[in-house]
Amino acid sequence: MENEVVSKNFIEVEIDKDLAEGVYDCVHTRFPPEPNGYLHIGHAKSILLNYGLAKKYNGKFNMRFDDTNPTKEKTEFVDAIKRDIQWLGADWEDRLFFASDYFGQMYEAAVKLIKKGKAYVCDLTAEEIREYRGTLKEPGKNSPYRDRSVEENLKLFEEMKNGVYQDGEKVLRAKIDMASPNMNMRDPVIYRVAHMSHHNTGDAWCIYPMYDFAHPIEDAIEGITHSICTLEFEDHRPLYDWVVRELEYPHPPRQIEFAKLYLTNVVTGKRYIKKLVEDGVVDGWDDPRLVSIAALRRRGFTPESLQMFVELCGVAKGQSSVDYAMLEYCIREDLKMKRSRMMAVLDPIKLVIDNYPEGQVEYLDAANNLENDALGTRQIPFCRELYIEREDFMEEPPKKYFRLFPGNEVRLMHAYFVKCESFVKDENGKVVEVHCTYDPETKAGSGFTGRKVKGTIHWVPAPCAVEAEVRLYENLIDEEKGVYNEDGTMNINPNSLTVAHAMLEPALKDVRAYDSFQFVRNGYFCVDAKDSREGALVFNRIVSLKSSFRLPQKG
């Protein structure tokens, strides 16, 4: 046997046990989003976890919309969710389901419970049901309608279905135990009247099942073995098991809970993201400052980087929050070898080489990625007028400043040494032009060893530079300052977006949506898919190059 070190997460340990004991002979998982918003990074974790388990155990993975609540659900969200899951690489093959397709079977299941004496129609108002429910310290009281006969319950439930009653007039409740220490077991409501159109079933139904009743049925119908969900459902597990048991499904699914993923300094949670979108704080669900999957894609994250991130996070039972810097680490790691390293000047200032002949152009060879020869080389036109970063010139430099200042010589990346001879200021005293001379002996790749310079700066040729809008991001919120202000509004970082008017190498002229690059010194950038136009490019900074982040040591 090979001596391999495999560390399993606690869910895998449970699955192994189930398989060994013969509880199940295969693994079948699902991802069940409610189509009431866009998916976010937390959902990505759940998707990749469920899909990953199915793959690892040679099992199956279902995609199922949990669309049992018609109030908030929309087709726009259904389409967005499908796109996001496909992009992440989780393949549901031909198993795309809608909980609403099972409304008929759920109705039959409810009838079965009534016939077994395990469910009853209750006329108490929502308010009264709450009062009768008791508290954590005190048991609840039985509803006066609890002992209705099976016949009466069947008739009333059918009338509920046939639209005889108004919203809230009657509900169907499971008959379990009003004194249970678990509040979820105190005769929970399992069906309610709601005269509402559904995005899938239209006006076919005016009663809708509650989540805790519907979910185990959906899992059982699809033959799910391990129904993996987040911790807030732990207290609902006895009810899940009750539903599955009372309905006598031959292969009962098993619910296992894990901790939600939280990230520092970002908002996860559909509710919060929705509020930012509706308040116009951000430009839609895919605003690159958000961590919805659509936003991460637009910003330039790759499916591989999110997979790596989810792997590193692991699966735990205890709540914790992960440093946003770890997500940045993953995208840097993913792009490092895969992307070309281009020159782009974010805050341009003109550099004129006085001794370079006017009108002359030469093409310099540059490796696209020094660490990966497979990415090949490109040619960069070099000429008399260039752009450099404003911060790469100083009239009066501090100590240890090795870039351009009067009298100093630097290397222009992939090109020649240039020495600063003079500079021009405008009427406000702002430097607008730097003048240099170049030394033809010092061409990059020529083997010149005559002398050394300490600084290397990047540049772009001015006459053929490509103009672009570049968007630089910071976190939308700063946790240390508190997520909320005293008046309940969110504390939004005013610098979460800054816009730069950049000049790029001509090789970047024909980029397409989602193409990404390293811009040397400035970070990784991605072509914005929403706002970029031909001749008016927009780039998003995915992440800067530097980080103090270190991978946590696994112990």
Binding site for ligand ATP (CB under 6 A): 32-34, 42-43, 45-46, 229-230, 260-261, 268-271
Question: How many CB atoms lie under 10 A from the CB of residue 395?
Answer: 13
CB of 69 to Mg ion, least distance (A): 9
**Which of Mg ion, ligand ATP, none interacts with 300 (beta carbon under 5 to 8 A by kind)?**
none
Residues 26-85 that bind Mg ion (CB under 5 A): 34
- DSSP labels, 117-173: T-EEEE---HHHHHHHT--SSS-----TTTT--HHHHHHHHHHHHTT-S-TTT-EEE
Residues 6+ apart with CB under 8 A from 303: 87, 88, 89
Q: How many residues bind Mg ion (CB under 5 A)?
A: 1
**Which of ligand ATP, Mg ion, none interacts with 348 (beta carbon under 5 to 8 A by kind)?**
none
Strands 320-322 and 261-263, how do they pair? parallel
Q: Which is nearer to ligand ATP, 81 or 344 (CB)?
A: 81
**Which of ligand ATP, Mg ion, none interacts with 52 (beta carbon under 5 to 8 A by kind)?**
none
What span, in angstroms and rounded, lies between the C-alpha atoms of 135 and 332? 51
**Gap between the terminal Cα atoms of the chain:** 25
Strand partners, 470: 500, 539
CB of 261 to Mg ion, least distance (A): 15
**Which of Mg ion, ligand ATP, none interacts with 42 (beta carbon under 5 to 8 A by kind)?**
ligand ATP
What span, in angstroms and rounded, lies between the C-alpha atoms of 348 and 365? 23
Q: Which of 191, 359, 327 is nearest to 263 (CA)?
A: 327
Q: Which of 211, 227, 217 is nearest to 50 (CA)?
A: 227
Q: Which is nearer to ligand ATP, 81 or 176 (CB)?
A: 81
Q: Which is nearer to ligand ATP, 122 or 229 (CB)?
A: 229
CB of 288 to ligand ATP, least distance (A): 19
**Which of Mg ion, ligand ATP, none interacts with 56 (beta carbon under 5 to 8 A by kind)?**
none
CB of 512 to ligand ATP, least distance (A): 32
Is the CB of residue 80 less than 8 Å from the CB of residue 38? yes
CB of 116 to Mg ion, least distance (A): 30
CB of 236 to Mg ion, least distance (A): 13
**Which of ligand ATP, Mg ion, none interacts with 445 (beta carbon under 5 to 8 A by kind)?**
none
**Which of Mg ion, ligand ATP, none interacts with 45 (beta carbon under 5 to 8 A by kind)?**
ligand ATP
Q: Which is nearer to ligand ATP, 263 or 353 (CB)?
A: 263
SS3 387: strand
Residue with tokens 């006066």: 144
CB of 227 to Mg ion, least distance (A): 15
Chain residue at closest Cβ approach to ligand ATP: 42
Query: Cα–Cα distances in Å, from 216 out to 18, 66, 193, 221, 228?
Result: 19, 11, 21, 9, 11
**Which of ligand ATP, Mg ion, none interacts with 230 (beta carbon under 5 to 8 A by kind)?**
ligand ATP
CB of 36 to Mg ion, least distance (A): 7
Q: Which is nearer to ligand ATP, 261 or 542 (CB)?
A: 261
Is the CB of residue 20 less than 8 Å from the CB of residue 206? no
Residue 323 is which amino acid?
Answer: D
- DSSP labels, 234-273: GGGHHHHHHHHHHTT-SS--EEEEEPPEEETTS--SHHHH
Q: Which is nearer to Mg ion, 34 or 439 (CB)?
A: 34
Q: Which of 146, 113, 114 is nearest to 128 (CA)?
A: 146
**Which of ligand ATP, Mg ion, none interacts with 457 (beta carbon under 5 to 8 A by kind)?**
none
CB of 468 to Mg ion, least distance (A): 39
Q: Which is nearer to Mg ion, 227 or 540 (CB)?
A: 227
Q: Which is nearer to Mg ion, 99 or 465 (CB)?
A: 99
Structure token pair of residue 290: 């958000």
What span, in angstroms and rounded, lies between the C-alpha atoms of 26 and 159? 41
Q: Which is nearer to ligand ATP, 31 or 417 (CB)?
A: 31
Query: Helices in 337-402 by DSSP H: which ranges?
Result: none
Q: Which residues bind Mg ion (CB under 5 A)?
A: 34
